[in-house]
Homo-oligomer: A and B are copies of this chain.
Amino acid sequence: MIKTPYLLFLGDAPDGLAAKVAQGIKDWRPENCVGQFRMEGCKADLGLTDMTLAEAKEAGAKTLVVGVANRGGKISQAWKKVLVMALEEGFDLASGLHNLLRNEPDLVAVAEATGRALHDVRVPEVEYPIADGVKRSGKRVLGVGTDCSVGKMYTGLALDKSMRDMGMKSTFRATGQTGILITGDGVPLDAVVADFMAGSIEWLTPDNDADHWDVIEGQGSLFHVSFSGVTLALIHGGQPDALILCHEPTRTHMRGLPGYDLPSLEALRDMALPLARVANPDCVVAGISINTQHMGEAEAVAYLKELEDRMGLPAVDPYRHGADRLAEALAAL
């Protein structure tokens, strides 16, 4: 568990896109963000107060979060200087970089000397159990996609927000690096050893109040041959009460797999629901989330309308129109 609130480190980001992890944290958990730290030449700006390490410490920040991609796959000496000073000032560090903080001997040495923690959110820090399949109390919803990277995390975060805005009990359960940095907690599922995948999701979504919803971040796709096993572990470990079908309608083939067509939403439903019912016989498909970023407004609205009529389920783009209708569908279950 990463200590909040954060000071967001934007480094020398060449543009806003390079700082998209920091942007996600600021968008979804503004209450966790005390300010931003930008180095000379940084072209990203989250609109947060620029702070020195001392100012952020004074304002209560506990962790410096590396919310920016590094260039050249190496933690530069310029970054290092800031990270070391942050440890010396009493901050923990958290990062989702491929290059792990724990593989940098200077950071490790200073963290040990100062008693601070280094969080590499790509690496599991827990010994997860093997799944036991026992039915847990509380409700769970999971996004399943026709493909990878169709908006499952965004859907989950938007749904969680809508549910809490409506007064429902909800917790977003992160299963990937960005989600973990946003919420400060979660399971980096793609890095978990095979035998413990489903167990890690059971661990992540324990017994809860009968009217509480865990909104589990989806990963991969049952139709994506590289990562489908991860998806099925999520379905069986999460034992969801409801599935949200996620789709990006303009994609011409599966991400990274030129020879593979995307399935229809009907095919996704017909594959995912019987599998989900192995773990939870009462599971239903509750709605559809469409990433319409490559469509105009009129085209998007017409597409969603056609989809609703065709499949008899609420269909929304949570980015354009919010996720309230999905939350309402869950509330009505």
A contacts, CB < 8 Å to B: 130-135, 189-195, 197-199, 222-223, 225-233, 236-237, 239, 254, 256-257, 259-260, 263, 271, 274-275, 278-279
Contact = CB atoms under 8 A, between A and B. Distances in A.
Contact of A229 (B197, B226, B271, B278): B197
B225 A278 contact: yes
A228 B232 contact: yes
A259 B133 contact: yes
The 7 closest A-B pairs by CB, nearest first: A229-B233, A225-B236, A229-B229, A131-B226, A133-B225, A190-B195, A232-B232
A198 B133 contact: no
A148 to B, nearest CB: 11
26 contacts: A131-B226, A132-B226, A133-B226, A133-B254, A133-B259, A133-B260, A134-B259, A189-B194, A191-B193, A191-B194, A191-B195, A192-B193, A192-B194, A193-B194, A198-B228, A198-B229, A222-B232, A222-B275, A225-B237, A225-B279, A228-B278, A229-B229, A229-B230, A232-B232, A260-B278, A271-B274
Given A133-B259, A195-B230, A229-B231, 16 more contacts: A130-B226, A132-B256, A132-B257, A133-B226, A190-B193, A190-B194, A193-B194, A194-B197, A194-B233, A195-B227, A197-B229, A198-B225, A198-B226, A198-B229, A228-B236, A228-B278
Contacts of A256: 132
A134 B260 CA distance: 9
B223 A199 contact: no
Contacts of A191: 193-195
Contacts of A227: 195, 198
Contacts of A189: 194
A135 B131 CA distance: 33
Nearest to A280: B225
A275 B267 CA distance: 11
A222 to B, nearest CB: 7
Contacts of A231: 229, 232
Nearest to A256: B132
Contact of A223 (B131, B134, B195, B278): B278
A133 B192 CA distance: 22
Contacts of A236: 225-226, 228-229
A167 B97 CA distance: 52
Contacts of A259: 133-135
Contacts of A198: 225-229
A271 B275 contact: yes
A26 B256 CA distance: 44
A187 to B, nearest CB: 10
A134 B258 CA distance: 9
Contact of A199 (B133, B135, B192, B226): B226
Contact of A131 (B195, B222, B225): B225
A274 B272 CA distance: 11
Contacts of A190: 193-195
Nearest to A135: B259
